[in-house]
Structure 1
Amino acid sequence: MHILYQSPKIIIREFLPQEKQTFLDLFKDEQVTQYLPDTSPERYVEMFNELLENYEKKNLSRWAIFSALDNGFIGMCVARIFVHNTSQIEIGYVLSREYWGKGIATEVCKALTQYSFTATETNEVVAITDLDNTGSQNVLQKVGFVRLDNLVRNDEELAYFKIERI
């Protein structure tokens, strides 16, 4: 199992095949998915199968976030080629509600940004959020992302953030 990042607080690592239900259960909480695009349960199953294939190909992917203290499942994060500009890497995360407000999102964003600059040739990492998701917007700005003009995707206006390689 490949570990992407580890600190005294969290571990970001590959999901194991037997953790499929853990991954799927994350998306059952309506507060957790409130700002995510509408996705079917079948699509979440596809996402899990795709992430396992990505690990084999050593591609960018989605990874599990676990507590380094008690091995509790915190959530998942993603780094992928940005569909609107393929020279950019897009990052994102979804955390279980009990882990909100504990600085984990900030640590995950820093780790994914660093990973994206280390593991790829990109000079720009981006993130998008729902316009109402001020919590994630504050996290991105705290990490050093700059807010750009809003982006429109599938007729929905989204907040758009970027950080550049130093």
Structure 2
Amino acid sequence: MILFSTPRLYVRPFTADDEDNFFVLTGDAEVMQYIREPKTREQSDLFLKENLEFYQTHPGLGRFAAFTNDTHKFAGTFSLLSINDSDDIHLGYAFLKPFQGKGLATELVRASLPYVFSTIQKETVHALTVAENTASIKVLLKCGFRFTHTMVHSGDDVMVFELQREKANI
């Protein structure tokens, strides 16, 4: 089931068959540098299982797989998750190295907004990033997000950006 697509990507829920794809991403220290510690294969397989279970209890939320439209290659992830178990929701993304620097993150975030706002039924969506992740900050600003404050999330100081539904051009 495709959740949404862009001119170059489509996003769908992960399945149990995605263990290799999930590990290629979650086990890569360079890709994970601004997100979390890289995982071993065993940790990644368990994390995928937890994500699949999360879909059942949180419809529309979770971590999802992004694939290229033309070759159906796994390119990265898109996520829609709670901030520190609150009612506030943040979107996120990560791309494997061959897919970075090609404008895919901006394309993904823009195309995700109709899905995001129809899923969360809120007037605001957030995005979190560390200050060192200047590429992600640029993506968020290009997509209309604005910086609001800094907070601690999962033990890290993060910058919080937000986008109002009315400014999302959807």
What are the Cα deviations for residues 79-117 of structure 1, in whole angstroms up to 9, with x where unaligned? 01222641x211111100110111110122123332121
- Hey, what does 2:2 align to over in structure 1? 3
1:65–1:73 Cα contact (<8 Å) kept = yes
Unpaired stretches in structure 2, ≥5 consecutive residues: none
Q: Which deviates further from its counterpart, 140-149 or 106-115?
A: 106-115
- Hey, what does 1:71 align to over in structure 2? 72
- How far is the alpha carbon of 1:53 from its aligned partner? 2.2
CA gap 1:104/1:80 in 2 versus in 1, 3 angstroms: same
Task: Report whether the alignment pairs 1:36 with 2:54.
Answer: no
Using the aligned pairs only, state the percent identity.
Answer: 29
What are the Cα deviations for residues 44-91 of structure 1, in whole angstroms up to 9, with x where unaligned? 3333112222344534111100000111110111101222641x2111
CA gap 1:8/1:156 in 2 versus in 1, 3 angstroms: closer
- Hey, what does 1:102 align to over in structure 2? 102
1:116–1:122 Cα contact (<8 Å) kept = no
CA gap 1:155/1:12 in 2 versus in 1, 3 angstroms: closer
Aligned CA RMSD, in angstroms, stands at 1.9
| Number of corresponding residues | 164
SS in 2 for 1:46: helix
Q: Which deviates further from its counterpart, 25-34 or 48-57?
A: 48-57
* Runs of 4 or more above 6 Å deviation: none
Q: Note the 1:119-138 alignment, pairs <5 A.
A: 119-138=119-138
- Hey, what does 1:15 align to over in structure 2? 14
Unpaired stretches in structure 1, ≥5 consecutive residues: none
SS in 2 for 1:149: strand
TM-score scaled by length of structure 1: 0.88
